[in-house]
Structure 1
Amino acid sequence: MVVKKNPGKTFEDNLQESIKQSNEKIFFSRIKDTYIPPDLRQKVRVTKNDYDCMMFARSHLFTLELKSTKEDRFSFDESIIKQHQIDKLLEATTYENVISGFIMNFREPTNKVFFVPIKEFIDYQYIAKNQIKDHKYKAKINKSSIPIAICEEIGIEIKGFKKKVNWHYHISDFITEAINTYRSKV
């Protein structure tokens, strides 16, 4: 019996492999999730991960939460984007040379990936949830999610290409753009 891998985990693996294959030296650490069987979840307490991974390159630390969906948006629902992750990503930005945010993978139809810095995410979420009419966004505001069109406006696209099966992402280009864009804003 072949067990099909969760597409979100495949995305995480592809991103990690792209970092390994980069021409520059990048430290990458993925924080493993603890699996608790469903029948024990009410009885066992496990600490929650602050975010999925950390990456260190060019004297900058990136704290990152990775998300993947087949939809054209990510819901703000606590089951998708957890408040403690938002809080921890924001806390990390209080340190010098730390860039924090979400890497959002929109698998269908074209597998677009965006880095959305945590401060931009929080600003958008506040405006969306409170239905503030006066805002800077060109795309439609959705009070319960962040759509791909908003990610295109406020984020950095991490370009990539499909090999035979897996994707390869241009991590060095992303690092350059993120440092140039956010080092003075964090």
Structure 2
Amino acid sequence: MNLIAGAALTAATFLGMEFVAWFMHKYVLHGPLWFLHRSHHVRHPHRFERNDFFFLFYGGLSMLLMVYGGPEKDWRYWVGLGVAVYGTLYFFVHDVLIHRRLPFWRRTQSAYLRALNMAHKMHHKTSGRDGSQEFGLLWVSPKYFTLAARPRAAASSGRPTTTAAQEVSKSY
């Protein structure tokens, strides 16, 4: 497979992973594998969660595809690379920015990333497997993007303000 076709397959896999992540999160993690995913929805004093096993699964799948497709650079290599790129982005956005599991990237000025954060916080409003919403990672519902794009209220105004996150909470 040539480089352009491989890059296109990697990009398609990366984009397709958003649907895979949404589907797996909604129907598998909040379904039969809730016993593992539950650890992500409750507060705990541990550094790691049972939910982290999913990282090992997708990382292992990506690695196997790249190893076995690597010598010929066939479709397996490029699909594995797309899964790896999605997983890397997932780690930095979900685990570092949103859940702050590592001590960097605390704040962002990006309205998109703030909207993504709001949507994820709405997902975590429920601690059970039922009643959650917003199961994807990269696609943000327009209502969150609109709220996140609003300028932040000046802290010195002396008036009580409603944050975008509070407005999102009110709408449910």
When the two structures are superposed, what TM-score results if normalisation uses the length of structure 2? 0.25
When the two structures are superposed, what TM-score results if normalisation uses the length of structure 1? 0.24
- Which is richer in strand? 1
Structure number with greater Rg is: 2
